Chains A and B, each alone.
Chain A
């Protein structure tokens, strides 16, 4: 899953630690989400979107070619 968490977080002038506190996770989890190394649950995705004042599709999306590869495997 791809995302623009880092971009919108910097736009809102939030540190990883502050965003993590606001959504109730650790700073490391936010870091992994930004790097695309952890796929958050829908609940956490929405929490992040609310804090960044963005909609879900603005922040998170799936690369369709990647999704097809996963489906085939």
Chain B
């Protein structure tokens, strides 16, 4: 692709990328919905790590959410979160997410539920910690 130097065309190209992103994700969601409707076993066949389309969609959304922090944090303009607050949020999320995973696994094995819940809690708290860079003092 040719390098664009014109600022107006750069903005246009960003808008085009945004539209392509919406179109691409719309099609992925549509295909996932069709898969769910056809299989009737949503958690076993569609919302699973063995479904590459679902993995791509989730990873894209996580990357987008992380990158978007410098925009959403600037709009919200909230004060910084202290270390204690971040730690309490992490432990609260650890309990909630682990419980949800344990419930999904029928409370066995609990260790795996703790690892999965801990992973999600770490990612969410990590995003909040990163968000602190863009918050006011």
A residues in contact (CB < 8 Å) with B: 24-26, 28-29, 32, 38, 40-41, 43-44
Flag whether B50 is at the interface (Cβ < 8 A).
no
Give Cα A38–Cα B6 distance, bound, in whole angstroms.
12
Give Cα A40–Cα B46 distance, bound, in whole angstroms.
47
Least CB distance from A32 to B in Å reads 7
Flag whether B8 is at the interface (Cβ < 8 A).
yes
Least CB distance from A26 to B in Å reads 5
B residues in contact (CB < 8 Å) with A: 5-9
User: Contact at A24–B6, with CB atoms within 8 Å?
Assistant: yes
When distances are taken between beta carbons in the complex, the residues of chain A under 8 Å from B8 are: 25-26, 28-29, 32, 38, 40
Give Cα A70–Cα B5 distance, bound, in whole angstroms.
29
When distances are taken between beta carbons in the complex, the residues of chain A under 8 Å from B6 are: 24-26, 29
Give Cα A71–Cα B8 distance, bound, in whole angstroms.
23
Give Cα A29–Cα B5 distance, bound, in whole angstroms.
12
User: Contact at A44–B9, with CB atoms within 8 Å?
Assistant: no
User: Contact at B7–A41, with CB atoms within 8 Å?
Assistant: yes
Residue of A nearest to B9 (CB): A26
Select one of A29, A41, A43 contacting B9, CB under 8 A: A29
When distances are taken between beta carbons in the complex, the residues of chain B under 8 Å from A43 are: 7
Given A25-B5, A25-B6, A40-B8, 9 extra CB contacts under 8 A: A24-B5, A25-B7, A26-B8, A26-B9, A28-B8, A29-B7, A38-B8, A40-B7, A43-B7
